[in-house]
Amino acid sequence: MGKTNQHLPLWEVFIRSKRGLDHKHVGSLHAADAEQAMQYARDTYTRRSEGCSIWIVRSADIHASQAEDSASFFDPADDKVYRHPTFYDIPEDLKI
């Protein structure tokens, strides 16, 4: 293995395992362009019949939430139980 990888862009791979299901992120790989990334995704992630559709996205095009934002992003949702439907009592006459 050479040091080529440091020059090749990184791609994220999403595989749909069955028709009707969603594409799921399965991993990433290095490739020079989209066509090559597609081939390597096929060779690396679908060789045991794992999928029927592949998406690839340049990792650089993904905008990720930052770990340091976690407190302000996600913690406030923890104490708002009323956002879950199970919080509400369903009136008797609505029940089946």
Partner 1 sequence: MSAALFEYTLRLGDDALIDGQRLSEWCGHGPFLEEDVGVANTALDLIGRARLLLAYAGTVEGKGRGEDDLAYTRDEREWRNVLITELPRGDFAFTTVRQFLLDAFNRQLYERLCLSLDATLAGIAGRAVKESEYHLRHTGEWVLRLGDGTRESNRRAQRALDDLWPYTAELFESDPVQEQMEAQGIAPATASLRAAWLHTVEPPLRSAQLMIPGNTWPQTGGRQGMHSEHMGFLLAEMQFVQRAYPGQAW
**2 contacts partner 1 (rule: CB under 8 A):** yes
Nearer to partner 1, 17 or 45 (CB): 45
Instruction: Return the structure tokens found at 52.
Output: 């029927």
Nearer to partner 1, 32 or 90 (CB): 32
Contact set for partner 1, span 20-79 (CB under 8 A)? 29-32, 35-36, 39-40, 42-44, 47
- Give residue 36's Cα distance to chain centre: 21
SS (H, E, C) 24-73: EEEEEEECCCHHHHHHHHHHHHCCCCCCCEEEEEEHHHCCCCCHHHHHHH
What's the closest the beta carbon of residue 8 comes to partner 1, in angstroms?
A: 7
Nearer to partner 1, 3 or 83 (CB): 3
CA distance 34 to 96: 53
Q: Which residues bind partner 1 (CB under 8 A)?
A: 1-2, 4-5, 8, 29-32, 35-36, 39-40, 42-44, 47
